[in-house]
Structure 1
Amino acid sequence: MTDYSHIYYRIILLVTMSLASTKAIAQKSSQLVRLAIIEVDTAHLDVYNEFLKEEIEASIKKEPGVITLYGVAEKENPERVTLFETYADSSEYKSHLATPHFQKYKQGTLQMVKHLELQETQPILYIRKPDLAKAPAHNLFIRLIKMEIDSKEIDNFKRLAQSVMLPGLQKEPGVLVMYAVASKKEPTSVSILEVYADSAAYKSHLNTLHFLKYKKESEKMIKSLTMIDVKPIALGSKPQERGKR
């Protein structure tokens, strides 16, 4: 009688691997990603920033489900604050809202926030280098980019970001964070947070082959682009798992 045990074992192994892969994809797609766009009363900027910085640091340290809280303020208009938020899933987000550190921030800044807009988003590209954790904040070169993409080119833009920019960015030591997200309500609206080790790293990035290719190919896809110089309030994130995008 023929022994098919080795074939059976291989089938079981392949099925198990397939299920594990599917689970990993499901876990990733379940992430809650959004932008918080905040306008702060200029009379309370310093106090507000301290509240936000304390809340970000506590959330990253104490909550496994909080993946990123990148808080930045515009240099020319420091009352305009943008927060890139990533949670493992919606339940982790709900748990976050009930924590003492979030409630302290929420109640403490209630009268300081003039406007709050929460945008549900879909990630296009995310990379975070380990050097971010030890990079001196005063050396960082950070930009917030707002784009409007041609509605017919959204899928092409996403493919370009993944196939051209991501592999190139992974090889650039001076690129510490690149986070691109699209609004779920208006998918043509894209926001990108760029964090470089310093201005020299940014200038070097502009001359890389992958950026030049991206710039050339994306020109027809982008209807408008605004670059905003920003400064960090707090750049909180968990170390990115190797191989995760």
Structure 2
Amino acid sequence: MPFPSIHPARHFWKLTLFGTSLLMLCQTTLAQPVLTPLVRFAELEIDQARLDDFGKAARQNAEASLLEPGILAFHTAAEKDNPGRVRVLEIYVDAQAYRTHVQTPHFQKFRAETEAMILRRELHEVVPVRFGAKASLSGQPLVRVAELTIDPAQLQAYKDAVMEEIDTSVRTEPGVLGIYAVALKEQPIQLRFFEIYADDAAYRQHIESPHFKKYVETTKSMIASRKLMEAQPIALTLPSR
């Protein structure tokens, strides 16, 4: 299995009540765009022979980044069936916080160490649709990534349905640790999801829940295409405050 040096106690579960603050911030920003955080969503193709080296460097960078006051979340995961395909979700307070981040010594070190390992980098400008996160993480989290294309004529109806589903899931299901939904800025009908569950059982319970089934029934005519992937965490982190 790739990334064998992952240590959950050290690298994954740095999450406090700040997670609740993140949810509140991103809910508020839907009505007040001026407060919208800067979100970066990247898709990387990593040299298969350098997966362990990349994982180590990514975790070191994420851990150091937790000390930056402008970072709200920093999540990295690899597709389970294709571990060279990596998704990175970064959330910053604003654009200045991102500019500060890319000038830090730890990011410069990470960039220099991994430049030759990254065969392809696709960076998307995205905007939040809905973010929800628990106040703490536990277990051995399961990550799922989804790529959806929504019928343009039903985009707002879809957003309304998915926001309700995310809010209910995070609020009522102990095993739903975080769900992040973003839309591509230049192609708003293209949505990306980064979902974190306590374990596989929590995910199975989630998809059997009444609110999820309601979401599926409500949106089945709205989704033009979907791609669902299970992913392996490399680093799942939120800063302590």
Q: Displacement, 1:112?
A: 0.9
> In the aligned structure 1, how far is the partner of 2:125 from the partner of 2:111?
20
Secondary structure at 1:162 match in 2? helix
* 1:162-177 pair list within 5 angstroms: 162-177=163-178
> In the aligned structure 2, how far is the partner of 1:186 from the partner of 1:48?
30
> In the aligned structure 2, how far is the partner of 1:157 from the partner of 1:238?
31
Counterpart in 2 of 1:210?
211
* RCO higher in structure (CA 8 A, sep ≥6): 2
Q: Which amino acid aligns with 2:117?
A: M
Q: Which amino acid aligns with 2:125?
A: E
1:72 and 2:77 correspond = yes
1:25-55 superposed Cα distances (whole Å, 9 cap, x missing partner)? 35532x1112111111111110011001110
Larger radius of gyration: 1
Secondary structure at 1:131 match in 2? coil
**Which runs of 5 or more structure 2 residues have no equivalent in the other structure?**
1-27
1:34 and 2:40 correspond = yes
Kindly indicate which of the two structures has a greater share of residues assigned to helix: 1
> In the aligned structure 2, how far is the partner of 1:185 from the partner of 1:27?
19
1:51 and 2:52 correspond = no
> In the aligned structure 2, how far is the partner of 1:168 from the partner of 1:156?
18
Structure 1 pair 123/154, CA: closer, same or farther in 2 (3 Å)?
same
**Which runs of 5 or more structure 1 residues have no equivalent in the other structure?**
1-20, 241-245
Secondary structure at 2:136 match in 1? helix
Q: Which amino acid aligns with 1:188?
A: I
Counterpart in 2 of 1:9?
none
Q: Are 1:165 and 1:210, in contact at CA under 8 Å, matched by a contact in 2? A: no
Q: Are 1:68 and 1:86, in contact at CA under 8 Å, matched by a contact in 2? A: yes
User: Would you identify which runs of 4 or more consecutive aligned residues in structure 1 move more than 3 Å?
Assistant: 24-27
Say how many residue pairs are matched: 213
Percent of paired sites with the same residue = 36
> In the aligned structure 1, how far is the partner of 2:143 from the partner of 2:103?
31
Q: TM-score, normalised to structure 2's length?
A: 0.84
1:49-87 superposed Cα distances (whole Å, 9 cap, x missing partner)? 100111011102x10101111100011111111001111
